[in-house]
């Protein structure tokens, strides 16, 4: 696992082999399945394979909100809206930590491309994550939020996030 994590960016195929080896040792090791899915989706462009890895993780631990949120993002990227929204709702129900809310916001941002009403939920979840201190470093660069970036609501949320992030009395940079 350590070697896989260390070489994810430089050698994603090697990292994938390391995570597979960890799964040979312990087929129920959830971090290996989740890291495997991350490499597949984010570094190798294998979104369908990543969904399958998270399917397996969720079968082993259906209460794991982070895996459900991640699966929701991948399903939304694949255009499978209803399944994606179901995962986002379940993730929020199971695990209201800010990192899970942030990922769920990404689901709604992605589905909001074709269903503009979904954007409202993206803003709500994103605001909740930011209020809890998560996502300030990601909000401006996360590709899953790209579909809402040009919207006035997003710009207002980003400005509010910057205000929250700035210490009292500090001037906001634009």
Within this chain, do residues 90 and 150 fall inside the same structural domain, yes or no?
Answer: yes
pLDDT digits (tens, 9 = 90+) for 31-61: 999 999 999 999 999 999 999 999 999 999 9
Domain that holds residue 48: 1-61
In this predicted structure, the answer to whether residue 172 has a pLDDT above a threshold of 80 is no
CA 92 – CA 34 distance, rounded (Å): 18
What 8-state DSSP symbol labels residue 152? H
- Mean per-residue pLDDT for 122-135? 94
pLDDT digits (tens, 9 = 90+) for 139-166: 889 999 999 998 999 988 888 877 776 5
CA 152 – CA 106 distance, rounded (Å): 17
Query: Per the structure block, which two tokens stand in for 57?
Result: 């993780």
Q: Is the Cβ–Cβ distance between 65 and 87 less than 8 Å? A: no
When divided into structural domains, the chain yields a total of 2
Within this chain, do residues 97 and 161 fall inside the same structural domain, yes or no?
Answer: yes
DSSP-derived 3-state class of residue 136: coil
């Amino acid at each position: 696992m350590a070697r896989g994590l260390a070489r994810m960016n430089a050698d994603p195929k090697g990292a994938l082999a390391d995570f597979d080896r960890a799964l040979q040792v312990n087929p129920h090791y959830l971090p290996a399945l989740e890291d495997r899915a991350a490499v597949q989706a984010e570094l190798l462009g294998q979104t369908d394979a990543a969904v399958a890895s998270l399917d397996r993780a969720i079968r082993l631990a259906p209460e794991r909100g982070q895996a459900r949120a991640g699966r929701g993002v991948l399903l939304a990227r694949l255009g499978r809206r209803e399944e994606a929204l179901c995962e986002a709702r379940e993730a929020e129900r199971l695990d209201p930590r800010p990192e899970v809310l942030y990922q769920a916001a990404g689901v709604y941002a992605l589905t909001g491309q074709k269903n503009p009403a979904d954007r409202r939920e993206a803003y709500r979840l994103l605001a909740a994550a930011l209020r809890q201190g998560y996502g300030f470093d990601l909000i401006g660069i996360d590709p899953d939020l790209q579909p809402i970036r040009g919207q006035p609501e997003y710009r207002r949320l980003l400005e509010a996030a910057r205000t929250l992030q700035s210490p009292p009395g500090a001037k906001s940079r634009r």
